[in-house]
Structure 1
Amino acid sequence: MDKVSVRELRNNGGRVLQRVADGETLTVTMDGRPIAELRPVAGRGLTAAALLQRWRRLPIVDAARLRADLARVMDSAL
């Protein structure tokens, strides 16, 4: 987790908040000590219709190819 000072937050507030909006969690420090945490607000859940639309766009998984790929990269000694 990256840190930003109170001074940086004051002087570059827009940039700092854009980093948070982009998904970063930041620790705000004062005199080198952590005093606060900035993190994105949890997003609202998707509707069932939106989830179904995403699900329909997922690629079809070929189980035989997946097993072959896993067998190729896995260490059978484990």
Structure 2
Amino acid sequence: MSIQPEITQRDLRSRSKEIMDAVEHGQSFTVTRDGHRIGELIPLRRRRRFVPRQEFAAMSRNAPSVDIEIFRADQEAAIDHEADSPYDR
């Protein structure tokens, strides 16, 4: 486990572009004020749009089987419910 570098509030203010560029590239920081930790800057997790076939197959091996009749009944119930919605008028 890597330890996040600590930066002071003053560093964050004066080097904000450099620090935010580092966050954008995956670096995390612990922000301190008066020697006390007050927060963390962490990159947002980006959502993948593509999952390789092998990975999808591996994840699917343990997925529960789907009863197609129950699935279709659930879909029909949802459609019927939406048709009766007073908000769609």
TM-score bucket (shorter structure): 0.5 to 0.7
State how far apart, in whole Å, the 2-side matches of 1:5 and 1:11 are.
10
Q: Specify the alignment match of 1:3 in structure 2.
A: 6
Indicate the residue corresponding to 2:49 in structure 1. Answer: 46
Mapping for residues 1-78 of structure 1, pairs under 5 Å: 1-48=4-51, 51-52=52-53
Q: Using the alignment, how far apart are the partners of 1:47 and 1:22 within structure 2?
A: 20
TM-score normalised per structure 2: 0.52
Partners of 2:5 and 2:49 lie apart in 1 by 29
After superposing on structure 2, the runs of 4+ consecutive aligned residues of structure 1 that deviate more than 2 Å are: none
**Rg larger for:** 2
Contiguous gaps of at least 5 residues in structure 1: 53-78
Q: Structure 2: give runs of 5+ residues left out of the alignment.
A: 54-89
Q: CA deviation at 1:44?
A: 0.9
Give the TM-score normalised by structure 1: 0.59
Aligned-pair identity in percent equals 30
Calculate the aligned-residue CA RMSD, in Å: 1.2
Aligned length: 50
